[in-house]
Every structure is written in C-alpha cells, then in structure tokens.
C-alpha cells in the first residue's frame, strides 16, 4: 500500500527558530512536493523535486528551502520561522511520467509563536 | 495560467441524498483531473483520477465525470452518509510532468 509519512503531526516553534519538516515515501517515487494549506487560500505549492538533489521553486518559496539527498526523503526547512508561517504543511509524491496521481502524507500542523 | 474553481464552497444535505460537486477549469488542455477527500486536520486522500481521454470514473458510490471542452468535472455521490462529511478538492494537471493546480474545495456536511 502506498505510504507517505511526515515526521510530526503537530509542531510548535518560536519565532526565529530553524525548523525542519521531514517527509518519507516508500513507493520509490521520483517526484516529491511540499504544499502549505491555509483557510481561504487553499493548497499552495512551496517547492518540489523531480529527483534526488533536484529542486524547483513553486508558487511561494520565499522563507523556505528544501533538501533531497535520498530518493525517499524530502525535507522542508524554515531558516528563521515567522508567525506568518503558521500553517498546515502537506507533503506528496508521485511517479515520474506516470498517470500523475499524487499521494499525500497526513500533514504537519505548525504553529510559530 | 490554469485556474480551478469549485462551487459551492460549502454544502449541507440530509443523509440519503444524492449530490453533485462541481469543478471548473479555465484551460481545457488538461492531462488529467484528480478528486481528493480531506478530513479535518488530515492529509488528502485520492478518490478518483480521470485521464483526459476518459469521460468518467467510478468507485463505489462515487462517480466523477469529465467534460474537457466545457472545462468541467462533477463528482456525484450517491446515497450520502454522515461518513461522507469532509472537504472535497479537485486538481488538474496540464501534462504528465507538470504540477497540480488545486481548487479551494467544497466542504460537505451530511446530517443524520
């Protein structure tokens, strides 16, 4: 069965902290994605990765960076967390060039105080 | 730029009703369309994926249709149940290698 896991369901951090959100998939998918979801704004793409060591900016990359050192793991980094980064963060993966079906993790609810 | 709209934003129905959720997109040159379900505070669960060459897909009480020329898709839920209460999102892809464009969802409440 398809599985995308995220390191934390809930996370509380202080302004200015460096925050790491981890995502792992066990489907050998090449592509991985990070979204944030906010009421009234829907899902917005932050960064995505077509393969190991590759990354592409999405619609709202400012204030974030990513790391993809292994195929199964995609990390989202908040270099200096701010209160406006309080949100639900969702990770997804898909097979390269397949039917484009994306599989999502359970989400991480991040609160920055 | 592709834009996806879902109407209505919220819908409340009594148990047992058949209902239709709507999704429209501005660029009809899509590769496929995916319907998701999201429970409060949770991730997205894929329900149905329709390729551009298909007209509909069915899974249990769910039926999704696609009309590319008019830029519309509908998700039909038969004999709704309280367990169907969730937010339903549609998303389109313009190629096998592009990212998804999401609508903002329809929040469905099915009352016993």
In degrees and rounded to multiples of 5, residue A15 shows phi and psi of -55, 135
Q: What is the mean pLDDT of chain B?
A: 95
CB contact under 8 A, A42 and B105: yes
CB contact under 8 A, A97 and B97: yes
CA angle A7, A9, A14 (to 5 degrees): 90
Q: Is B106 helix (H, G, I), strand (E, B) or coil?
A: strand
Nearest by CB: A106 against B42, B91, B104: B42
Two structure tokens written together for B72: 């519309």
Two structure tokens written together for B84: 């169907």
DSSP states of A72-88? TEEEEEESS--GGG-EE
Q: Tell me what pLDDT residue A2 has.
A: 66
Q: Is A32 helix (H, G, I), strand (E, B) or coil?
A: strand
Q: What is the pLDDT of residues A75-108, one digit of tens each?
A: 999 999 999 999 999 999 998 877 778 999 999 9
Q: What is the pLDDT of residues B38-61, one digit of tens each?
A: 999 999 999 999 999 999 999 999
pLDDT band, residue A1 (cuts 50/70/90): low
State the pairing for strand pair A19-25/A73-78: antiparallel
Angstrom distance (rounded) from CA A111 to CA B33: 32
Q: What is the pLDDT of residues B57-98, one digit of tens each?
A: 999 999 999 999 999 999 999 999 999 999 999 999 988 778
CB contact under 8 A, A97 and B46: no
């Amino acid at each position: 069965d398809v599985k995308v896991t995220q390191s934390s369901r809930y996370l509380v951090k202080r302004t200015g902290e460096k925050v790491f959100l981890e995502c792992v998939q066990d489907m050998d998918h090449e592509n991985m994605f990070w979204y944030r979801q906010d009421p009234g704004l829907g899902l917005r793409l932050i960064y995505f990765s077509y393969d190991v060591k590759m990354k592409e900016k999405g619609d709202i990359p400012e204030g974030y960076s990513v790391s993809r050192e292994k195929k199964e793991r995609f990390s989202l980094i908040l270099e200096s967390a701010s209160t406006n980064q309080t949100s639900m963060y969702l990770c997804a993966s898909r097979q390269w060039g397949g039917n484009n079906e994306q599989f999502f993790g359970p989400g991480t609810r991040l609160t920055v105080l | 730029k592709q834009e996806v709209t879902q109407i209505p934003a919220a819908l409340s129905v009594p148990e047992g009703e058949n209902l239709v959720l709507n999704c429209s997109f501005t660029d009809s040159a899509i590769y496929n369309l995916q319907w998701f379900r999201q429970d409060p505070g949770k991730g997205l669960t894929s329900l149905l994926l329709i390729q551009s060459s298909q007209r509909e897909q069915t899974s249990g009480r769910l039926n999704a249709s696609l009309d590319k020329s008019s830029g519309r898709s509908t998700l039909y839920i038969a004999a709704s149940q309280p367990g169907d209460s969730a937010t339903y999102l549609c998303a389109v892809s313009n190629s096998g290698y592009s990212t998804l464009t999401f609508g903002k969802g329809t929040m469905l409440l099915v009352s016993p």
